[in-house]
Structure 1
Amino acid sequence: MQLYEAPALYEKIIHYNEDKEIQVRLTINTFRGIEYLHVRKYYLDFTEEWRPSPEGVAMELDFNNSRQLFSGLLEILSLAESKDIIEEHFKDYIDEIYK
């Protein structure tokens, strides 16, 4: 059995582009006794079934990898939220500075 064919223990669609008929899925599966976390692009094939593409990433699901991924996502969300707050309250000043 190929790694990408192993049945998913967890699966969530985290992005869907209806026009291009692609999805990005977060999945967890076990292969040869090791759990893997995948973020992978899926495409709709000619038989109307969703298939995993080679585009994506798989990594062993362990505490350190999970912690680093979570930490990175928190940083991204924090920066995005901070940017929105700063723009909301200081946009006029920032625009004036960077004329």
Structure 2
Amino acid sequence: MMPVSLSKYLREKRVSVAMTQQQAGKMLGYEKSQFLSNLERGTSKPPLEVLKRMCEVYKISREEMRARYVEDVVREAESKALQRWST
């Protein structure tokens, strides 16, 4: 079974604490929910400082968030390397 992407993981964690994108965005210091929407759709990558703040807002341990972040970065790097190798 393939691990859940970081973007989907972030959405699941937000939903698990019963927050809308608007509510979570405001707690993270953003006026509009577009920022979180982009992160949760995977169209942009979250800055590390935002991931650290999400730990508090979403009630996630830093260790769990770090593990998910590293897993996502490794998976993305592996995918890019395999694509380059195939060309």
TM-score normalised by length of structure 1:
0.38
Which has the higher Rg, Structure 1 or Structure 2?
1
Higher relative contact order (CA 8 A, sep 6+): 2
TM-score normalised by length of structure 2:
0.42
More helix by share: 2
